[in-house]
Amino acid sequence: MDFDTGSDYNLVLLEDEDKYRLSAKEGMEAIKDGNHSICAYDESIAIYAALEGKAVMVSHALVYLRPDEYLPITYLTLSFYTRSDKIINVAKESAKKTENPDRQAAIDRAVEKMQLIKNYCIDNTVLFIDGALIAGDAYTSVMAEIKKLSDRNIFPVFFVKNSASNLISDYMPDYCSGFNSDMHWANTILKTGERTRFFKYTDGHNSSNSKVFCYIKHMDGSSPVRIEFSTLTYEKHLSSVETILDMIYYLLLAQGNKQNPQIRPIAVAEKYAREVLKLYDINREVRSAGLTPTMNEERWG
């Protein structure tokens, strides 16, 4: 999910022009050159709500793009979250006690994601990650690992395709006003194959929570997407940023889906994550533990 990050922040323009052209051809050539490995991350989630707590199964997928194939690395986890001391006393290490199961599940998911990336993403890699860089409480687990990845010349690129964020229009009403969202604004000013200028966001409470972002429009009739880097990544790899954006434009066109704009490697990672999730039936696993499904789980699960 994409969350706004609160009202106390600073936003600055990093470039002179409102928009810039992208080159799919140069993006394709950069991929063919093979100067960097390319991989993508996505995840798929299954949730089972019981009276005793909530079971969350997460399928993580890291997929490498090779000249003639995709190489997947997958990681499947199952966790049970509860507020009940009685369940913890019985289940012991099989359950996690928390007052906010959804929040804790999101944090655990982010930790698992970064652990998989840290262990299996090789050096000198452009890493495409589905989702926002700063999202809810879980983003702190991601930000803590960014510098370690940067030291290994790993370039994490975060890809947001659904967003109602108003960071630009709220902070710069004279520059961008009268729009439903920043994505609505970007869709209005951009032509196919263009991107907006870069903006730098900095958290007013913690300056280390900082990101750089722009919007890209790859097809007429398709919503723009937002591309995000940590500020640390952007500044360290500034000379490579334009090439990365051209690669993204090419990979968006290669996927070619107007209704669901996505770059091809992330779309493939998503398929692997969903298929691995099917290996285990979460309903059967939870029921076999003797837990009682909620009424909605019985009706809609």
Mean pLDDT score of the chain, rounded to an integer?
A: 87
Q: How far apart are CA 260 and CA 237, in angstroms?
A: 29
Phi and psi based region of residue 12 (left: phi greater than 0; alpha: psi -120 to 50; beta: remaining): beta
By the 8 A CB rule, do 176 and 280 touch? Answer: no
d(CA 196, CA 167) in angstroms, rounded, equals 14
Q: What is the pLDDT of residue 35?
A: 79
Contact present, 103 and 16 (Cβ < 8 Å): no
Q: What is the pTM (predicted TM-score) of this model? A: 0.89
Exposed (0-12), middle (13-18) or buried (19+): which is 266, by Cβ within 10 Å?
buried
H/E stretch holding 49? strand 37-50
All domains of the chain in start order, with CATH = 9-294 (3.30.2170)
Q: pLDDT tens digit string along 189-241?
A: 999 999 999 999 988 777 778 899 999 999 888 889 999 999 999 999 898 99
Helix boundaries (H) for the chain: 24-33, 85-91, 101-120, 139-151, 167-171, 182-189, 231-236, 241-255, 264-277, 282-288, 295-300
Q: Mind giving me the DSSP string for 240-267? A: GHHHHHHHHHHHHHHH--SSS---HHHH
Percentage of the chain modeled with pLDDT above 90: 51
Q: What pLDDT, in 10s, does the model give residues 158-176?
A: 999 888 888 888 888 888 7
The token pair that represents 206 in the structure block: 């913690």
Other CB atoms within a 10 A radius of the CB of residue 221 amount to 7
pLDDT tens, 29-85? Answer: 999 887 789 999 999 999 988 888 899 999 999 999 988 899 999 999 999 999 888
Each residue of 230-282: pLDDT tens digit? 999 999 989 899 999 999 999 999 987 777 778 999 999 999 999 999 988 88
The β-bridge partners of 126 are: 38, 155
pLDDT at residue 140, rounded to an integer: 65
- The residue among 262, 246, 276 whose CA lies nearest residue 21 is 246
Q: CA triplet 102, 108, 110: central angle to 5 degrees?
A: 105
The candidate with the shortest Cα–Cα distance to 81, out of 103, 49, 54, 50, is 54
Backbone φ and ψ of 205, nearest 5°: -95, -25
